[in-house]
A and B are shown apart, each in its own frame.
Chain A
Amino acid sequence: MIIRNWMRPTPTTVTGEMLLAEANHIFSETRLHGLPVVEDGRLRGLITRAHCQRAAHHVARTQSSDEFAFFSSRLRVRDLMVRNPATVDADETMETCLQKGQELNVGQFPVMSGGSVVGLISASEIFALAAHFLGAFERRSGVTLAPMLLTPGAIGRVTDIVEGSGAEVIAIYPIGSGKPPAALKKLIVRFHGASVAAVTDALQQAGYTVVESVENAHAVAKAA
């Protein structure tokens, strides 16, 4: 869970000197969302797709050919880039990165190592992380249990019940909602084999409330 293993390595970088039109071109040719601005091996800023689009929108609104000319031939990346962007270190954990993103409300981080940019974390990387975590490609089945107090042994008991009904538990995620996370946590259980109905029955007999169920990664319509 070290950032180095999840980031997009050797990202495309630009210089502050580059015309904004060129950066815009990179954005339209690729699916990148941010370009770190590096000068003399040092991170100087970050320019994002949103900045470019907003600038283009502002210029278009003036309906002035001189503004269009200024935009395409004079405006440079350093006029628009964010200076001192928030960064993360390659040896930090993804948890730190996610927390920082939530706190600062930013969607991308240049990844630093020894003072230079070695990677980029953006929405695509976070998508990849979430997909791996939830096993999006494994077509898991699962259930979500209503919020409960997680005492020692609680997760073990749930595991026993689920595996007792013939399933193979792959993952259990306790999730608290709100900030700070509530004391009561939902329990999301993912498993292979057995039918979701059998697992649901077993859990309900043991006194748990099932709020959602998923069969082979597709939501199961709840019986009214």
Chain B
Amino acid sequence: MTSRSDLRSPPSQGGAASGPAEPVPRRPLGWAAPPAANEPTVCWFEDCSRDSIAEVGGKCASLGELIRMGARVPPGFAVTTHGCTRFLRDAGILPEIARLLDGLPADDILRLEQASAAIRSMIESRPMPVEMEDDIAEAYRRLALRCGLPAAPVAVRSSATAEDLPGASFAGQQDTYLWIRGADELLQHVRRCISSLYTARAIGYRLKMGFDHAQVAISVGVQKMANAFTAGVMFTLHPGNGDRSVIVIDSNFGFGESVVSGEVTPDHFVVSKVTLDITERTISRKEVCYTVDPRNQCSIAVDVPLERQTVQSLIDDEISELAWMGKQIEKHYGRPMDIEWAVDKDLPSGGNIFILQARPETVWSAKAAAASAPSASAMDYILSGLLAGRQVG
């Protein structure tokens, strides 16, 4: 058996990557070549597409797809599943994890929590292989250059391969960290995202659904943070009744997390998909929002000033533009979508609405698994519904 230190490349090979003329193997001899040794550790969003779910997870694949279709998406990159798996394997903790998970009951919350805490602290305390650290930090440096800001603030999100798939509602079971700045912070939060593969909820869910723990790989998305004035979610159908003729937008001041987590009652708008008119608006009292603490450069919850609490958080023009963007995205994917968006406060209006994430809507789509093909038009959908004897709307 080779010891762990043998698995590391000798230091002089650190420079080998720079000279393309001399392809020096990065692993010393004696290393039984792992199947994924040459797979890249990072992949830019624009190189991802819906075919790359296995490499970068559902979330990042869909961001790549959005960039390809021309949606305004903040730039970023994914730490691939190969990279994350390699990290777990090189740290030599997989047998220990398997031992901790062995024979866990799916419904004993306490034991799940204990196992999860043990596994997560183990993962988070492991140093990252130097090559992987360099790959991620180098991609981060390039991202910062593209953003024109040294150590640009990023959102670090986990992107599991089984998450966001139609039919498996894993969403929200993994972690999101906002406004991360600096290479050290980034690497620490990438590790935390990887360890979120083993939250108690995720372990329990996999046990309940009978998924193999080893089969679910994780990827981590690192995306330039939009300095959101307003953010929220948008559904291209009515989440309450499945009505596909409307777009529903929920919004609050600050980052979208307050809306996603359900911490506040957001402003609620219903927009007609055909005319883009606002047919229904509910302005609620928004008491808290998440924004950046400029001094400490981190995300904090702040109270919304009293005079702004009952003010509409998204102006009508932005609602229409957003709904239009939602329509385009739905058209591209050919199915109802669940979209996260943000309005950047540093950019002029007209170019300040960003799509942060888009995934297929799961609840109603699962119910209406009709005979219609994924890219069929609305008319095909209606016809197929009629043929299947199902009422439209």
**A residues adjacent to B (C-beta < 8 A):** 20, 41-44, 54-55, 58-59, 61-62, 64, 66-67, 69-71, 74-76, 78-87, 100, 103-104, 110, 112, 114-116
Contacts and interface: CB of A to CB of B under 8 A. Distances in A.
B11 interface: yes
B385 interface: no
A54 B150 CA distance: 9
Contacts of B54: none
Query: Binding site of B, secondary structure by majority: helix, strand, loop or mixed?
Result: helix
A112 B21 CA distance: 18
Interface string B147-171: 0111100000000000000000000
B151 A79 contact: yes
Contact of B150 (A42, A44, A75, A114): A75
Interface string B290-317: 0000110100000000000000000000
Nearest to B293: A66
Nearest to A20: B150
18 contacts: A41-B11, A42-B14, A59-B150, A66-B295, A69-B295, A70-B181, A70-B297, A71-B150, A74-B297, A76-B183, A78-B184, A79-B183, A80-B151, A84-B18, A86-B18, A86-B19, A87-B18, A114-B12
8 smallest beta-carbon distances between A and B, as pairs: A86-B18, A87-B15, A66-B294, A83-B134, A55-B150, A115-B12, A42-B11, A79-B151
A69 B293 CA distance: 13
Contact of A58 (B10, B17, B149): B149
A44 B14 CA distance: 8
Interface string B353-381: 00000000000000000000000000000
Contact of B138 (A82, A87, A100): A82
A115 B149 contact: no
Given A83-B138, A84-B18, A43 B148 contact: no
A79 B19 contact: no
Interface of B: 10-12, 14-15, 17-19, 21, 134-135, 137-138, 141, 144-145, 148-151, 181-184, 294-295, 297
B136 to A, nearest CB: 9
A70 to B, nearest CB: 6
B295 A80 contact: no
Contacts of B144: 79
A115 B9 CA distance: 11
A184 to B, nearest CB: 27
A183 to B, nearest CB: 24
B17 A84 contact: yes
B150 A78 contact: no
B137 A86 contact: no
Given A61-B148, A79-B182, A85 B19 contact: no
A112 B15 contact: yes
Nearest to A56: B150
Given A70-B297, A79-B141, A84 B14 contact: yes
B134 A84 contact: yes
A63 B313 CA distance: 27
A186 to B, nearest CB: 28
A71 B118 CA distance: 37
Contact of A115 (B10, B21, B148, B181): B10
A138 to B, nearest CB: 36
A41 B183 CA distance: 21
B149 A74 contact: no
A114 B13 CA distance: 11
B18 A78 contact: no
B294 A43 contact: no
A70 B135 CA distance: 24
B149 A59 contact: yes
Nearest to B182: A79
Given A83-B137, A115-B10, A76 B295 contact: no
B19 A100 contact: yes
B56 to A, nearest CB: 21
Contacts of A55: 150
A74 B184 CA distance: 11
Nearest to A78: B183
Contacts of A114: 12
